[in-house]
Structure 1
Amino acid sequence: MTRKRLCYLLSFIAYFGMPLGVPFIKSTEPYILGLPLLLFWMVLWILLGTGIMLLVHRLNPDVKAEVE
């Protein structure tokens, strides 16, 4: 797998991670770290998405070409 394809795959995961999980969460009863499950899911994917996009930025071969 090339770096560019890996960047596209990681971007796809970061973009669709939050909305694809929301329909499967049917109740707000379980609490994780004091947050209802849906709110925890959204906060988790905001943080994961940021980390994934940072990784994509570092892996992207086009960015390295622009810097040099």
Structure 2
Amino acid sequence: MKMIYILTLVPFIGILGFLPFVNRIEPYVLGMPFNMFWMSMWVVLTSVILGIMYKLDPRNREGDQE
């Protein structure tokens, strides 16, 4: 298994693994309760991580040699 595929575990651990620790309402971030901000942040970070994986994957570079 390639090491870049380990990056798929980062959003899973960030969303589900740390959710019991960030399950609070009181600190508001950008006008949202902290729990809602945490989930929104991970939606954006998951897209960024998947974009990085796409760029690093050598199988996606085969079509660029035209």
Bin of the TM-score, shorter chain as denominator length: 0.7 to 0.9
* Alignment: residue pair count: 63
TM superposition score normalised by structure 2: 0.81
Q: Map Cα deviations across residues 17-39 of structure 1 (whole Å, 9 max, x no partner).
A: 21112111242111011000000
Unpaired runs of 5+ residues, structure 2, are none
Q: Which runs of 4+ in 1 moved over 3 A?
A: none
Unpaired runs of 5+ residues, structure 1, are none
TM superposition score normalised by structure 1: 0.79
Aligned-residue RMSD, C-alpha: 1.5
Identity %: 32
